[in-house]
Amino acid sequence: MTAVCPGVNSLCGNQTTGCRVANPLSWSVFAGRVRVVVPVLTLALIGLVGGLVTGISPCILPVLPVIFFTGAQSTRAEGESGGGVAVAARPVSKARPYLVIAGLVVSFTLVTLFGSLLLSVLGLPQDVLRWAGLVVLVLIGVGLIVPRFEHLLEKPFSWIPQRNPDASKGGFALGLALGAVYVPCAGPVLAAITVAGSTGRIGIDTVVLTATFAVGAALPLLVFALAGRRVAERVRAFRKRQRGIRVTAGIVMIALAVGLVFNLPQLLQRAIPDYTGGLQEQVNESAPVREALDLGGLTNDQNKDLAKCTVGATELQSCGTAPDIRGIQQWLNTPEGAAVNLTDLRGKVVLLDFWAYSCINCQRSIPHVTAWDDAYRAAGLRVIGVHSPEYAFEKEPRNVIDATAGFGIRYPVALDNSLSTWTNYRNRYWPAHYLIDATGTVRHIKFGEGDYDVTERMIRDLLRANDPGVSLPAPTDTADTTPDTADITRETFLGSTKQVNFSGEGPYTAGQTSFAFPAQQPDNTFALDGAWTLDTQNATPTGTDARVRLNYRAKEVRVVLAGTGTVTLDTPSGPRAITVSGTPRSYEVITTPSVQPGTLTATVGSGVSVFSFTFG
């Protein structure tokens, strides 16, 4: 029986679901011309809705002050110098908010779709456009603070005939700069767009998807810009202090640029609960969205042949050249953090292991992978771990470093925080193994746990094929602890957007809520008692007697906890306590010789967050 953790934004559960790749666009020839049938409108709607959800999510918070004060600016403040002549204050610009947002939409669309390709052709670093946008933000900010500097910036364009010089026209340039540095929250829509742009598979479908996503994400920003303009028009203090407004706008622009350099907005986003998690889940889990986005970028020239492999086959197959490892934030266990390139490993057999450190399915699989690395490295096997996070806390490099050391992993690990490599392999599962021969061809794909003897036999076959004289050790004897998933409780999440098996009364939504244990609790469920604060990914007690009760069936129960404090457990085998300290990790709760039903009650101390229960 195979246990897997289904893919992006899915529940890490115990059922295997297929990965369907469908083409929702219908192309036909009529009257000598190619036309696109109605489903393009579906892509436009998906892009717009995905963008709107992103546009109200925490990831836009860092740019809101810039947008607001931009809308509140007049053309010039009273007494400022315009070409050496003092001018009176002009009314707040009517066009500026629209120009800023239009520039952002145009810039974001072009940079996302064509920026990577253009920079590659020119041989420039991939972050040149981002740094250019940051420099422009700083220059505009300084110009707003120092009018003479703004005049110097405008001077090279003084040859352009203007009957009525209007600084609001600079709003479009500001929008272009913001679009180059604006990094919306990653999701399947943006992932599809990014892959399509980076691989050059850009057609009407991806252009429509990108443009509508940009418009959707920009509409909430336009509301803030118009609100700023409205306040400036209606509030006398704003009208009288336009000089101060412009200085403030300049300061927040410079602050935004500096913050982006040091990734401070990411810290802000991590500190604020994702209040759009429920909306994102509904969009991401929609079957039409998944089918449409497979076309939008998940299928590309590098990975299109992976479909030739039957997942879990018992014999070696051939399914194309292995896709690149791309978009890696950081490498672990390599000399000085150097990147690993698959083309440099030709002549070696390679095993790619996609994993996430808090997923129990991966935890049971890792001992087999590390054993293969130890046994066959000298014979020519190279193992590469691709850590593709499911939780936000799994994106923290220090957490992955600790987990890698704890699991005894000595092979290279790539931090695939943007899911770029995950997407390039069209992956959907934790764990997932891709076996690559010495010529660079993918020969076997395995999703989930189990069948380790089959994978190891194929590793040995490929090593012998590469070097008929190789001396191989005896097969590894790591115990296969893959559970019979039909006989145990499925993984149970306590986050408000991913909760599974909740049996209490009332809605289970983000925020502070009081619960009470139900009189009758069904098997394979959990319930809460006391005061709790529910986040999108965890539950944290807000009172002194907060409890969680779990009815389960398993031989092993583990819980993912974070924070500082104590969890007191009343289990079938007796009471015990867990001392929690530090970053989120998995703690053992109970282990029995065989699968058994049971009930456990955990009293969670203040300062401890509960993410999930996993079962073996």
pLDDT of 26 reads: 34
User: What's the pTM value of the predicted model, to 2 decimals?
Assistant: 0.51
pLDDT of 444 reads: 93
pLDDT of 269 reads: 59
Pair of tokens at residue 524: 């394979």
pLDDT of 368 reads: 93
pLDDT of residue 61 exceeding 50: yes
Which H/E stretch holds residue 249? Answer: helix 242-261
pLDDT of residue 504 exceeding 90: no
User: How far is residue 115's CA from residue 111's CA, in Å, rounded to a whole number?
Assistant: 4
Do 309 and 400 fall into the same domain? yes
- Count the domains in the chain: 3
Pair of tokens at residue 35: 């036309």
pLDDT of 29 reads: 33
Domain for residue 383, yes or no? yes
Domain for residue 551, yes or no? yes
Q: Is 531 helix (H, G, I), strand (E, B) or coil?
A: strand
User: How far is residue 615's CA from residue 471's CA, in Å, rounded to a whole number?
Assistant: 39
**Which of 137-151, 376-390, 528-542 is the most confident on average?**
376-390
Do 454 and 391 fall into the same domain? yes
Residue with tokens 């400022």: 80
pLDDT band at 380 (very low <50, low <70, confident <90, very high): very high
pLDDT band at 88 (very low <50, low <70, confident <90, very high): very low
Do 450 and 599 fall into the same domain? no
Q: Is 443 helix (H, G, I), strand (E, B) or coil?
A: strand
Do 454 and 561 fall into the same domain? no
Looking at residue 450, which CATH number applies to its domain? 3.40.30.10
Torsion, Cα 66 70 71 73, to 10 degrees, reads: 140
Among 523, 611, 524, 517, smallest CA distance to 567 is for: 611
Strand bridging mode 349-355 / 381-387 = parallel
Q: Is 150 helix (H, G, I), strand (E, B) or coil?
A: helix
Do 176 and 263 fall into the same domain? yes
Do 459 and 498 fall into the same domain? no
Do 440 and 588 fall into the same domain? no
Which amino acid does the sequence have at 154?
Answer: E
Which amino acid does the sequence have at 415?
Answer: L
The residues, any chain, with a CB within 8 Å of residue 265's CB and separated by 6 or more, are: 59, 61, 62, 183, 259
Domain for residue 565, yes or no? yes
User: Average pLDDT for residues 320-342, to the nearest whole number?
Assistant: 93
Domain for residue 353, yes or no? yes
- Boundary of a domain, candidates 222, 255, 271: 271
Domain for residue 98, yes or no? yes
Q: Which has the higher per-residue pLDDT, 612 or 293? A: 612
At CA 455, angle to CA 408 and CA 431, rounded to 5? 55
pLDDT in tens, 433-467: 999 999 999 999 998 888 888 899 999 999 999 99
pLDDT band at 160 (very low <50, low <70, confident <90, very high): very low
Looking at residue 575, which CATH number applies to its domain? 2.60.120.260
Do 535 and 416 fall into the same domain? no
Domain for residue 100, yes or no? yes
Do 202 and 348 fall into the same domain? no
Pair of tokens at residue 472: 């191989």
Residue with tokens 């009471």: 575
pLDDT of 11 reads: 31
Do 371 and 265 fall into the same domain? no
Do 501 and 431 fall into the same domain? no
First-to-last C-alpha distance (Å) of the chain? 13
Q: What is the DSSP string of 534-603?
A: E-SS-EEE-SSS-EEEEEEEEEEEEEEEEEEEEEEEEETTEEEEEEEEEEEEEEEEEEEEEEEEEEEEEE
CB 570 within 8 A of CB 388: no
Do 70 and 213 fall into the same domain? yes
pLDDT of 590 reads: 87
Query: Structural domain of residue 367, as residue ranges?
Result: 304-466
pLDDT band at 611 (very low <50, low <70, confident <90, very high): confident
